[in-house]
Each structure stands twice: as structure tokens, then as C-alpha cells.
Amino acid sequence: MRVAMNFSLSSKAITATKADCLVIGLPEKGEWPESTKAADDALGGLIKQLEKAGDLTGKNASVNTLPLVDQPWQRVVVIGTGKDADRTATAYRKSLIAMTGALKDGPSKSALISLTDTAVQGEAAVSSEEARLNLIGRILEDQLYTFTEFKSDKPAARKLKKVVVQASGAGKSLKDAFNLGLATGRGMNYTKDLGNTPPNICHPVWLAEQAKAMAKDYDSIQTEVLDEKQMEKLGMNTILAVGKGSKQPPRLIVMEYRGGKAKDKPYVLVGKGITFDTGGISLKPGEGMDEMKYDMGGSASVFGTMKVLAETKPKINVVAVIAAAENMPDGGASRPGDIVKTLSGMTVEILNTDAEGRLVLCDALTYVKKFDPAAVVDMATLTGACIIALGNHATGLLSNNDELANELLAAGERTGDRAWRLPLWDEYQSQLDSNFADMANIGGRPAGTITAACFLSRFAKDYRWAHLDIAGTAWNSGKAKGATGRPVPLLVDYLMTHAG
């Protein structure tokens, strides 16, 4: 069990708050923020002196911990915030990550953070105090995350229990911004928990249980789960086709958050929930296959976002639909060459059983028409090609609507959870031609991310739709292997701009 941290804001003078640790920002040359001046005064000019001596450089994201005696604080952690001209939102975010790293394993039980009055360059994101408080809240929760559930030797309990963040006042807009940031970080952490949970535990029925637990925990959330019989009755044959090779039956999970007026059209989030992707009969190579437990990352980000909504209660209606299945090879599995009728009535020739994400999503995209959506955004770890195109920095964005695409791109910029748009031109559609069915489920190697989205677009004609390919951004490979919590910040920011 994770012990909840106590977070609060303070607008008192910093010297009025006792804490084990004071955190201040130190620019590299240039004008100091007021809180840094106040700290230096309280410490009798110590910071100035150490800066002069060259012990403190203010280099961005540098961390120096100075023990203190006879002060309201036992130590001061000096976070370099770089040169004024270089302090972009990204640089500021880096300094906050460095700060949280220092607090995470440090000896302090309580910390007073005064980085809010550091000015940030550029119009995006962090130029207002609200935006900075939102970011501080999010980074604190996000960076304090650990996942040790399956370790026998639990690391020693964290000392840090209480964090106070300096703000210029105690007004509602400042508090709301900080709380939204904290909630966003916790939503990311929930997303990470789901993604990190091993695939022998996290299977479609287990995911459905998580959704039911959400409905129990939050009055504002209602959950409905369709089992394989109900899906069969409706004709959701492509989800069923993907799940056929697994002992774990597929599920369609629907969660509704109704915070807006009854007449407000809902924003619909659709998540790919492949709890393990072996490739099926078109089996993947063995190396690194464990990472395919994150193939439910899209649905995990939908869960995380719903949790943020339930905790912050914005005036908006949001419906979440998760297409959950396990893609396994087996005597009952779908074969390359199988033809399946989708919920839309169109037929698909499954030429490669490893292109299963689009198969579960296409039925979900048809299903969501019944909600008369204001917009539909789907999240999916859909293509390896997206990692080749954009690496691990940007989510791939494809959309049938420029306005929606631009709003999502802007939300990504504001939060630093960035996306990059790829074209969805008609010229690519013919790569999906099939000799035997209405379409094939693969379009060959060229432009793999685009042809996957082209496939989805055929089921999303009746509403404003965007697709986020998060194959490269939902998790880290290598030493820091694990889920990232993306694109929860982007989604939350986007939805909040539409809340009444």
C-alpha cells in the first residue's frame, strides 16, 4: 500500500513555515525570485556567498543540499533553474524532476517548496502561476511513484510525508490548479499501476473489475461490462476474433462520468486494452515480448483520466470505452486469411493476427456512435512503426477533423505531453485493399502508423475523431522499464478546456 502524502499550499512568508527542508530555485546569473531573496536574507546571505565562491552555479536542474543549524529548516535544497533566457517550460519541468528526485530518497519528513515564483519563458504552459502550480503538483505525484508490489524485499518506507508549496495567495484558482495537478499525477500513477501489473493478473476480466471498483469508489462513475455472449449478440465479431485464442475471455468495458448537463454531448475516450499481445498465430519474436503486457496502455490511460475526472469533478460528460482482449496463439485462434464481419457490417480479411489492435478498436468505434459524441479520441499502442517515426518523445496523432487535432496538439504542448500529427490522406487507403473482403487488416510496411489509422478512420466517419498512437510514449524500455502515465496529462488538459 502506498502511503498518501500530505500536500498543501501556503502564502505565508517562508520563514513562518517550519519544515525539515526548504527548497529554493537559483537562477544561473540574472535576477533572483522573491522567495530566493527571502531565503537568503533568512540565512544571513549564505546563498549569495556560496554562489560567489562558485559552490552554487544555478545550472539548470542542478541539486545542492546544504545542512543548516538554528534555522526554521534543517537543510536547504538549492535547485538550479538555469539562465532566464533558457528557462523554457521543458527546462523548468526538468528542474522540478530533479527537485523531486532529491526529496524522494532524502532524509526530510517535510518540505517547503518555493519554486512557484520562478519565471518561465514562452507563452505556452508555465507562464502563469496557476500553470506552474498545476505542473508542480503533477510532477511531485508522478515522480514520487514506485511500483514494488511484487518485490519481497520492500524498500524502506519513504521519510517524506508532508509537502507545502509556496503560492502568492490562497485564492480558489491557485488551489484548483494545484489540486488538478496533483490529481493528474495520481491519475498517471493509476495508469502506471495498471500497465506495470503483470499479464497473468491483468487480463480482460481483471480490467473490468477495476472499472467496477471505480464505480464503487466514485458516485460520479457508472460502469457497464459486456461479456462475450453480449458482444456476440451485437455482432462485435472482431473483438471476439482477437480473443478467440486465449483462455481469458474478452470484455467491452464502458465507464460513464456525467458531470455536465444531461443535454451536453459526451466526449468519448476509447482505449486499446490488449492485456498481452503475443501476435497470435502471426507470432512475435520472443525477445522483449514481456513488454507486450503494456499493450493495454491505451486503456490504462483512459482509466487514469477517468480517475482524474472523478476526483476533480469538472462540468463535462465523458464516456470511456475499453476494448479488452488477450491476443494468444491456440487451436481456437484466428488465422491469417480468416474473414470476419465487423459490428459496422463491413468485412475484414485478417492477413496478420498481430495487427489486432485495430480489430478490437474498430468494433468499439462503431459501438460509441450510440452516445452521439461531441468528439471521440482513441488511445492505442498500435504500431511499432510509430516508434520508428517519432521515437519515444511524441505521440502520433491522426484525425479526421483539423479543429480537434489542433486542440489535442495544443493540450500536448501546454502539458509537455506532446503529440505530432501525421497525415490521413486518401492516397494511403488503397494499401488496405483486399482481394476477398472489404478491407485487409494490414497495409504493408510503408507508413504503418498511417495505414493503421486509415483502417480505424473507416469506422469513425460519423463523428469528429482523433487517434493517438502511444506505442512510443506509454512506456519506457531499457533500465527504467515501466509505464509512463502518458497521455493522461494531454487528455486531462484537453477535457478541462471543454468543461463548463
- Residue 421: in which H helix or E strand, if any? strand 419-421
The minimum distance between CB 396 and Zn ion, in angstroms, equals 14
227 is in an annotated binding site: no
Beta-bridge partners for 63: 79
48 tagged catalytic: no
Stretch that binds ligand BES, among 16-24, 208-216, 347-355, 392-400 (CB under 6 A): 347-355
CA distance 181 to 137: 4
The reply on whether position 396 binds ligand BES by CB under 6 A is no
When the beta carbons of 277 and 413 are compared against Mn ion, the nearer one is 277
Cβ-based nearer residue to ligand BES, 9 or 471: 471
> Does the annotation flag 277 for ligand binding?
yes
**Residue 361: which of 320, 405, 303, 321 has the closest Cα?**
321
CA angle centred on 130, ends 128 and 131, rounded to 5°? 70
Residues 37-56 binding Zn ion (CB under 5 A) are none
Return the closest-CA partner of residue 185 out of 143, 127, 133, 130: 143
84: cell is 532566464
Q: Which residues pair with 397 in a beta bridge?
A: 421, 468
All cell numbers assigned to 338: 480468416
Please name the residues in contact with 52: beta carbons below 8 A apart, sequence gap of 6 or more: none
Does 295 bind ligand BES (CB under 6 A)? Our answer is yes
CA 189 to chain centre: 9
CA gap 271, 323 in Å, rounded? 6
Is residue 356 a contact point for ligand BES (CB under 6 A)? yes
The C-alpha cell of 196 is what? 506495470
Please give the Cα distance from 183 to 413 (Å, whole number): 19
In the complex with ligand BES, which residue's Cβ is closer, 384 or 482? 384
List, in order, residues 6 or more apart from 460 with CB less than 8 Å away.
Answer: 365, 376, 400
Residue 193 assigned as binding residue: no
Sequence-separated (6 or more) residues with CB below 8 Å from residue 75: 20, 21, 22, 65, 66, 67, 68, 108
193 vs 295, beta carbon nearer Zn ion: 295
Interior/surface letters 193-218, b for 16+ CB within 10 angstroms, e for the rest: bbbbbebeebbbebbbebbbebbeeb
Q: Residue 322 corresponds to which amino acid?
A: I
Considering beta carbons, is residue 25 or 396 the nearer one to Mn ion?
Answer: 396
Residue 361 near which of Zn ion, Mn ion, ligand BES, none (CB within 5-8 Å, type-dependent):
none
Set 159, 162, 284, 335: catalytic member: 284
Is residue 40 at the binding interface for ligand BES, with CB under 6 A as the rule? no
The span of 65-73, 127-135, 187-195, 353-361 binding ligand BES (CB under 6 A) equals: 353-361
- Which residue's CB atom is positioned nearest to ligand BES? 384
193 binds Zn ion (CB under 5 A): no
- Note the residues at the interface with Mn ion (CB under 5 A): 277, 354, 356
272 marked ligand binding residue: yes
CA proximity to 354, closest of 300, 295, 299: 295
Residue 442 binds: one of Zn ion, Mn ion, ligand BES, none (C-beta under 5 to 8 A by kind): ligand BES
- Which DSSP state fits 51? H
Residues 334-373, interacting with Zn ion (CB under 5 A): 357
> Minimum distance from CB of 354 to Mn ion (Å)?
4
Q: Does 469 bind Zn ion (CB under 5 A)?
A: no
Question: Quick one: 202 or 471, whose CB is closer to ligand BES?
Answer: 471
What 3-state class would DSSP assign to 131?
helix
Q: Closest distance between ligand BES and the C-beta of residue 358, in Å?
A: 8
Among 223, 383, 415, 431, binds ligand BES (CB under 6 A): 383
Among candidate residues 358, 458, 464, 486, the one labeled active-site is 358
Any binding-site annotation on 12? no
Q: How far is CA 25 from the centre of its chain?
A: 27
Amino acid at 477: S
Report the site for Zn ion in 261-300 (rule: CB under 5 A): 274, 277, 295
458 counts as catalytic:
no
Q: Which of 81, 108, 381, 415 binds ligand BES (CB under 6 A)?
A: 381
Catalytic residues: 284, 358
User: Footprint of Zn ion on this chain (CB under 5 A)?
Assistant: 274, 277, 295, 357
User: Footprint of ligand BES on this chain (CB under 6 A)?
Assistant: 277, 295, 352, 354-357, 381-385, 387, 442, 448, 471
**Residue positions forming the annotated binding site for Mn(2+):** 272, 277, 295, 354, 356
